[in-house]
Amino acid sequence: MKKWYAVIGDPIAHSLSPFMHETWFKENGIEASYIPVRVEPADLAKACESLLLMGASGFNVTLPHKQAIIPFLSGIDETAGSMNAVNTVIRKDRKFFGLNTDGDGFVQSLLTTEPERDAKILVIGAGGAARGICFALSRANFENVTIANRTYRRAEELAEETDASAMTIAEAEENLGNFDIVIQTTSVGLAEDEALPLSISNMKSDALAADIVYNPIETPFLKAAEAKGCRTLSGVGMFVYQGAIAFEQWTGKKPDTEKMIQLITETLGGNYVNR
Ligand code: ATR
């Protein structure tokens, strides 16, 4: 029987996951489909039950359901547990099991820039996305991570859990020149044009600036960093690698990530993956 997969979220119409996974199914000669399903928060339990009954082989979970879905799954792995969020669901023995590939997806994207393991890394933000990234950086043996967040207490808590250091945003601004890699994980700049989570005037011109947002490809943070001459890494890589890890979990095959990064960059109308 032809297998099928889905992504659930609200909104979901603009998700690039169906394009990405269907392209990879074709490239790997796998007979399967991948459909976007809009699920309103109140319908999440029913949606999970329906996906199970109707035979979905797995699915992705996006906003606003990444946390809320956990009670409707039969279990989650350690990574999803430490993030308290799920972005990928696999089917095992007529049950759904949750994983989170976002943090590892980011780190795989970062690794394409060939960073030193002792690079001084600043993570801006301490929300769900930052949690995934900090745990994944620690698993990948990056030893020198500092977290700065508007709400300092959250930075401190995450730093304690991941053996990192914490700074206030003001301290991070002042010490920005010491960092080799600056990772922006907040939603600042999405709602408001040109807004930044912190002033980057002290950033080194040979530092790498990475954003987790991929649409727009050129976020205000990356634009400002590029204007200072910094290298930049857009969120497209994280999006593609989180999907690639999910694809491998579902099919056992490693998809072509490099070609997909190019395709999505073109689809989004950018020419801006400056690594
Ligand atoms: P996500 O799962 O996308 O990371 P989240 O858990 O709501 O979302 O976290 C959002 C992050 O962006 C947090 O680090 C948040 O800072 P606070 O912990 O202080 O709330 C940060 N953030 C959101 N809006 C911000 C703003 N206007 N200025 C600075 N930081 C902001």
Residues annotated as catalytic (active site), given as ranges: 66
Ligand 1, residue 186: give the atom nearest the CA: 12
pLDDT digits (tens, 9 = 90+) for 92-103: 999 999 999 999
Q: What pLDDT, on a 0 to 100 scale, did the predictor assign at position 192?
A: 65
Number of domains in the chain: 2
Are 42 and 109 members of one domain?
Answer: no
In a domain, residue 151? The reply is yes
Are 86 and 119 members of one domain?
Answer: no
pLDDT digits (tens, 9 = 90+) for 10-23: 999 999 999 999 99
**120 pLDDT above the threshold of 70:** yes
Cα–Cα distance measured from residue 190 to residue 263, given in angstroms and rounded to the nearest whole number: 23
The secondary structure of 164-233 as a DSSP string is -EEE-HHHHHHTGGG-SEEEE-SSTTTSSTT--SS--TT--TT-EEEES--SSSS-HHHHHHHHTT-EEE
187 lines ligand 1 (CB under 6 A): yes
Q: Which domain holds residue 33?
A: 3-100
Are 93 and 151 members of one domain?
Answer: no
pLDDT digits (tens, 9 = 90+) for 134-162: 999 999 999 999 999 999 999 999 999 99
Other beta carbons within 10 angstroms of residue 247's beta carbon come to 25
In a domain, residue 261? The reply is no
127 lines ligand 1 (CB under 6 A): yes
Ligand 1, residue 66: give the atom nearest the CA: 2
In a domain, residue 35? The reply is yes
pLDDT digits (tens, 9 = 90+) for 179-237: 999 999 998 877 667 789 999 999 999 999 999 999 889 899 999 999 999 999 999 99
Are 109 and 225 members of one domain?
Answer: yes
pTM of the model as a whole: 0.95
In a domain, residue 203? The reply is yes
64 lines ligand 1 (CB under 6 A): no
Atom 8 of ligand 1, nearest CA residue: 127
In a domain, residue 245? The reply is no
